[in-house]
A = this chain, B = another copy of it.
Amino acid sequence: MIKIEKPAKTQRTVIQQRTRKAIMDKSARLFRDKGYGSTSLRDIASATGMKAGSLYYHFSSKEELAEEVLTQGLFHVAERVKEAVEALPSEASPLEKIRAAMVGHLTALLEKGDYTSANIRCYNHVPAPIKKRLKADRESYDAFWEDLIQSSVTGSFIRKDVDQVSLRYALIGMLNWTLEWPATKHGSPEELGAKFFDMVFSDTLA
């Protein structure tokens, strides 16, 4: 059987994907900096080098574009965290997994800062149907941390009287708040992750 090549269409799809990514990159940065409501499709189009109407060749609405950008922000974090935890040796303790997850989370924030910042900053301001789906994504990411913490307590690595919900939110809060820092003060994800981990899980007191 002869394989029929479709070079024209293939190439066109590649270009389309490239343009699509360019639109999303610019959108992520604009949503992060100006917010959902103050970012117009004309802002996005002109940043990408096209006219507003042309965006509809790639996305069917502003809402769809925003949802895709914000979703990718969270997915990227979840992916990096998963990788970081799975890269550990199989005998790693749940506490070592928490540490790796913290570093992975920070790595994602620094790597894909525009997307993750857009998610964190615009999550509450996006139309309700989108927010509902983003919330479900956040909850499944939350569940990952819940399990890590639960395992640490069950395995007697964390004291049983520590409130697990507060601990989870505290960790995620300190990690996410790094996006509000002056960017120069970050250091590497490994360094910063280690500092945060030690603050909570080692002696901070003199």
Contact = CB atoms under 8 A, between A and B. Distances in A.
A124 B118 CA distance: 11
Most buried by B among A156, A158, A166: A166
Interface in A116-165: 121-122, 124-125, 156-160, 162-163, 165
A48 interface: no
Interface stretch (A8-16, A67-75, A80-88, A169-177): A169-177
A125 B34 contact: yes
A205 interface: yes
B125 A205 contact: no
A38 interface: yes
A33 interface: yes
A36 B172 CA distance: 25
A192 to B, nearest CB: 7
Interface stretch (A20-28, A53-61, A196-204): A196-204
A6 interface: no
A169 B159 contact: no
13 contacts: A34-B37, A35-B124, A36-B37, A36-B38, A38-B125, A159-B203, A162-B204, A163-B195, A166-B192, A166-B195, A173-B177, A173-B178, A176-B177
